Amino acid sequence: MKKFVLAGLVSTLLVACGTSVPLNDVPVEDATAKAVGADAAAAGSGVQGGGVAPVDLGRAVDQAPAPADSRLVYFDYDSFVIKPEFQAVIAAHARFLRAQPTRKVAIEGHTDERGGREYNLALGQKRAEAVRDALSILGVPSGQMEAVSFGKEKPVVLGSEEAAFAKNRRAEIRYP
Amino acid sequence: MKFCPLPRLLEVYRFFCFGLLLLATVPVFAQFRIEVSGVGLTQVPVVIAPFKGQEALPQKISEIIRADLERSGQFRVIASPAGVFDEASRPELSALRQSGADAFASGSVSKLADGRFDVRFRLWDVVKGQDLGGRSFAVAVPDLRLAAHRVADDIYEKLTGDKGVFSTRIAYVTKAGPRYQLWVADADGENAQSALASPEPIISPAWSPDGNQLAYVSFESRKPVVYVHNVSTGKRRLIANFKGSNSAPAWSPDGSTVALTLSRDGGSQLFLLAATGGEPRRLIQSPSIDTEPVYSPDGQHIYFVSDRGGTPQIYRVSARGQGVERITFTGTYNISPTISQDGRWLAYISRVGGAYKLHLMNLTDGTVSVITDSVADESPSFSPNGKMLVYATQQQGREALMTSTLDGKVKARLSGQHGDIREPHWGPFFK
């Protein structure tokens, strides 16, 4: 703000230059507003103060259908322990993956909506890694598996009550 | 040019008592509300006269300046006397003094031959009867708001001695149905421009220290990966796509390094990566969750969240990965640390009885205060002058962004986008 240059027209960034006149009592100092983005002039629609070039990655093609129960492991609140009722699900995937050594699998951890986004991402990662480790114990090579987390970003049930929370605290086993 | 801060004016700040637990809500204009609460608020009473010529424009310059100054919590804008004023007017100082004003600003906006507009203003110290000078900004129509913010910055700096932040930018994320968008907006939430639209979540945007790039986490490849995105060109660089999750990017103050959380070697662990990408180096190793790194402004330390003690707490470690110290000791869930530019304040989210509230710790003496009475606060970040915070919260079941003064006494909901709005990050001053 204090670095207004005297010679303005040298710069190709017209919007980024300004002149400074000593402040006596007569004219107010003349300073052309500096564009906020450094490359505003080059940014197409960047006449606006910001100079933001939009990037659009497109729309969702089809929302992936909710996975079948045979690909879901649910967890208790604040827990990463695989409950006994899900051992059969994990054992079935382990058998499949051992028989199909070229197949890759993604294990995606999720949390309920309570708490911060990044901390929930770390909690979801612990759930995904718990399932990955259980598969590993059953003989699935780690090179076939990737444990990732969506934290609280992808709830399957909306709502702020325990029934919704319980459905969202999960790991999904997905074959790309 | 040099601004002259006015300690003299500080001496004549009037003391306003709003009464015990009085909660006053002052509507400023349609979509903008400022809440003032608490007692013992010290604010400079100031008159912002309607700018001559602004009636013809969609942007009412004086209203933008007024909202900026009020949101800062440091000013009380009082009614302008009758009459038309511009930067050449010499106000009736004795009448202004009687109305309780300490400062008076007036100005004009006029069309130039090239189609741009010339926004001019002048500020008076009413108490001393002194002309504090003025400035003029020639801007295209889309930058009229920016010019108003610059005027507000000048007034703020001349009257408080601190740099104003009204012409800085805030990044945030919206979710509308299945569509996520990363926006870059003025510090009042207006004039939002889309930097990225995606069918998958975007979280944790973080401004580079030069204000030109945003690092963030995108789920566009069905896992969290970290991009660095040049906002003005739209050019994106994938800097972290390692096996597992890649998240929580934070810039070093010199812009050379990004600290982040990777699970590639198992667990959520802290790493440092050149901002251009490459091979990450591990910062520290633990069997627990370590995440949400953020550099201290001097670059010497990295604050982060860890559950190594059984519950998530804030710790810090030297930027070389040595000497882990615990910082928060009260409560069982303390996350999302952010440090003010002067290194004096740590803002973070703490769970209190099932509610997530914005807290502030004085790092000099360790005292902690609660800034909000809301229940779902997230993602705080400081204004670059360290005098305000922006954070996400929920209001009437919708996600909203708020600003607050550090004492929590003056809060404003940022206007702008419809739908759910989250993950704010306040950008730096422009050099």
CB contact under 8 A, A42 and B232: yes
- How many Cα neighbours within 13 Å face the side chain of B228? 23
pTM over 0.90: no
pLDDT level of residue B40 (50, 70, 90 thresholds)? low
pLDDT at B204: 98
Q: Are residue A19 and residue A74 in the same domain, yes or no? A: no
Closest to B63 in 3D by CA, of B415, B380, B422, B424:
B415
Query: pLDDT tens digit string along B158-177?
Result: 999 999 999 999 999 999 98
Task: Show which of residues 43-82 on chain B sit within 8 Å of chain A, judged by CB atoms.
Answer: none
Q: Give the tokens for residue A103.
A: 């197949």
Query: To the nearest whole angstrom, how far is the Cα of A38 from the nearest Cα of chain B?
Result: 7
Asked if residue A31 is part of any domain, the answer here is yes
- Both structure tokens of B201: 């979540």
Residues A82 and A124 in one domain: yes
For residue A125, the model assigns a pLDDT of 98
Measured in whole angstroms, how far is the alpha carbon of residue B31 from the centre of its chain?
19
- CATH, domain range B169-426: 2.120.10.30
Residue A25 with chain B: CB contacts under 8 Å: 131
d(CA B288, CA B311) in angstroms, rounded, equals: 10
Three-state secondary structure readout of chain B: CCCCCCHHHHHCCEEECCCCCCEEEEEEECCEEEEEECCCEEEEEEEECCEECHHHCCCCHHHHHHHHHHHCCCEEEECCCCCCECCCCCCCHHHHHHCCCCEEEEEEEEECCCCCEEEEEEEEECCCCEEEEEEEEEECHHHHHHHHHHHHHHHHHHHHCCCCCCCCEEEEEEEECCEEEEEEEECCCCCCEEEEEECCCEEEEEECCCCCEEEEEECCCCCCEEEEEECCCCCEEEEECCCCCEEEEEECCCCCEEEEEECCCCCCEEEEEECCCCCCEECCCCCCCEEEEEECCCCCEEEEEECCCCCCEEEEEECCCCCCEECCCCCCCEEEEEECCCCCEEEEEEEECCEEEEEEEECCCCCEEECCCCCECEEEEECCCCCEEEEEEEECCEEEEEEEECCCCEEEECCCCCCEEEEEEECCCCC
Are residues A29 and A81 located together in one domain of the fold? no
Nearest chain B residue to A160 by CA distance is B397
Interface predicted TM-score (ipTM): 0.90
Lookup result for tokens 């309607």: B50
Token pair in block for residue A114: 């309570």
- For the stretch B80-112, pLDDT in tens is 999 999 999 999 999 999 999 999 999 999 999
Task: Judge: A2–B379 Cβ closer than 8 Å, yes or no.
Answer: no
How many A×B Cβ pairs under 8 Å? 219
Structure tokens at B257: 């390094």
Query: Are residues A123 and A166 part of one domain?
Result: yes
Does residue A52 belong to the interface with chain B, where contact is any CB pair within 8 Å?
Answer: yes
The predicted pLDDT at position A21 comes to 31
Every domain of chain B and the residues it spans: 7-160, 169-426
Residues B179-204 pLDDT 10s: 999 999 999 999 999 999 999 999 99
Q: Give B430's contacts in chain A (Cβ within 8 Å).
A: 1, 34, 36
Q: Is residue A30 part of a domain?
A: yes
Q: Which is the CATH superfamily of the domain at B7-160?
A: TolB, N-terminal domain (3.40.50.10070)
Please give the tally of structural domains in chain A. Answer: 2
Per-residue pLDDT at A24: 36
Residues of chain A scoring pLDDT < 50? 1-28, 30, 32-48
pLDDT for B417: 63
Q: Is residue A64 part of a domain?
A: no
Shared-domain flag, residues A13 and A94: no
C-alpha distances in Å from residue A87, one per residue of A131, A147, B211 = 10, 18, 50
- Does B191 contact A119 at a Cβ distance shorter than 8 Å? no
List the domain range (segments joined by +) for residue A140: 69-174
- Chain B residues near residue A114 by CB distance under 8 angstroms: 356
Residues A52 and A73 occupy one common structural domain: no
Question: Same structural domain for residues A87 and A14?
Answer: no
Last residue in a domain, options A12, A37, A57: A57
Residues A101 and A15 in one domain: no
SS3 A173: strand
How, if at all, do strands A72-74 and A170-174 pair? antiparallel
CA-nearest residue to B236 within chain A is A55
Q: Which of A33, A129, A148 sits opposite B266 (nearest CB)?
A: A129
Judgement on whether residues A24 and A73 belong to the same structural domain of the protein: no
pLDDT mean across residues, chain B? 91
The answer on A161 and A107 residing in a single domain is: yes
Q: Beta strands B193-198 and A55-56: pairing type?
A: parallel
One domain for residues A90 and A169: yes
pLDDT at residue number B37: 72
The residue out of A57, A81, A100 marking a domain boundary is: A57
Higher pLDDT, B225 or B21: B225
> What percentage of chain B reaches a pLDDT higher than 70?
91
Show Cβ contacts of residue B351 under 8 Å, excluding neighbours closer than 6 positions.
Answer: A115, B331, B332, B333, B334, B357
What is the C-alpha end-to-end distance of chain A, expressed in Å?
52
Q: What is the mean pLDDT of residues B371-389?
A: 97
B379 pLDDT band, cuts 50/70/90, is very high
Residues 6+ apart with CB under 8 A from B427: B168, B169, B170, B171, B184, B207, B211, B384
Contacts of A119 in chain B (CB under 8 A): 289, 291-292, 305, 312, 335-336
Nearest to B142 among A48, A57, A117 (CB): A48
CB contact under 8 A, B2 and A46: no
Question: Looking at the structure, do residues A48 and A85 belong to the same domain, yes or no?
Answer: no
pLDDT (0 to 100) of residue B399: 92
Q: What is the pLDDT of residue B39?
A: 61
Of residues B16 and B362, which shows the higher confidence score?
B362
Q: How far is A12 from chain B (nearest CA, A)?
A: 16
Res B5 pLDDT > 50? no
User: Nearest to residue B226, comparing CAs of B210, B209, B203?
Assistant: B203
| Antiparallel, parallel or unpaired: β A29-30 and B130-139 | parallel
Q: Report which residue type is found at B328.
A: T
B158 touches chain A (CB under 8 A): no
